Chains A and B, each alone.
Chain A
Amino acid sequence: GQQLNQSPQSMFIQEGEDVSMNCTSSSIFNTWLWYKQDPGEGPVLLIALYKAGELTSNGRLTAQFGITRKDSFLNISASIPSDVGIYFCAGHDSGNTGKLIFGQGTTLQVKP
């Protein structure tokens, strides 16, 4: 089945630094979604991407849908302590069933 490879697995950065994480796949996805999950909570949608090449921002967050439809990245600029959490990329499967396939997640820790 389709799989998403997300990297890095974890990051430990200083407050104020920029962060970048990405997801790749060997197959094409029709949408890319980026979520953040805090401990004990459900994932919260950050950015949704629907078109190849699309670049979308949400405050300090920027994400792009790769032109090949096989990858996406998420950037966080000027990180702050509340950015701490697990970030997941997700894509809708090619069958358009609405099923989401998730990456393994990137754990972000920010040192004040």
Chain B
Amino acid sequence: GAVVSQHPSWVICKSGTSVKIECRSLDFQATTMFWYRQFPKQSLMLMATSNEGSKATYEQGVEKDKFLINHASLTLSTLTVTSAHPEDSSFYICSASVEAPGTEAFFGQGTRLTVV
């Protein structure tokens, strides 16, 4: 399958600081990537759709000013958690599809964010 790489795998930051998470498609181009959030023992919750060259589309209830998404190239999307607070601590995962949206989706390794 296709490879999606996320960096970093884990990060600890102080409350009030910002954290950037990168999602890269290593062997294919992705015009669309997706960002999910997962709480312990729960399923994945879609946060936003990242569109190359245009603004991201956020799901209802997700603060766009809190979670900044940039998709500057066909192989890279970034999620920045701004002014992080302890309640932002979570597992963040990105995904991308090789073919058109609606086909197989491949996920990154995930990023464990802990805000202290």
Contacts and interface: CB of A to CB of B under 8 A. Distances in A.
Interface of A: 30-31, 33, 35, 40-45, 48, 88, 90, 92, 96-105
Given A40-B110, A43-B44, A88-B44, A33 B101 contact: no
Contact of A100 (B4, B34, B108): B34
A97 B109 CA distance: 23
Interface of B: 1, 4, 6, 32, 34, 42-44, 46, 49, 91, 93, 95, 97, 100-110, 112
A97 B51 CA distance: 11
B92 to A, nearest CB: 10
Contact of A98 (B4, B6, B44, B102): B102
A98 B32 contact: yes
B95 to A, nearest CB: 7
Contacts of A105: 42-43
Contacts of A40: 91, 110, 112
Contacts of A30: 102
Nearest to B30: A98
A104 B109 CA distance: 19
A41 B108 CA distance: 8
Interface centre among A30, A31, A40, A43 (most CB of B within 10 A): A43
Nearest to B104: A48
23 contacts: A30-B102, A33-B105, A42-B107, A43-B44, A44-B107, A45-B1, A45-B105, A45-B106, A45-B107, A97-B49, A97-B101, A98-B32, A98-B34, A98-B97, A98-B102, A98-B105, A99-B101, A100-B34, A100-B44, A102-B44, A103-B43, A104-B42, A105-B43
Given A42-B95, A43-B44, A45-B1, 7 more contacts: A35-B107, A41-B109, A45-B105, A97-B49, A98-B34, A100-B46, A102-B43
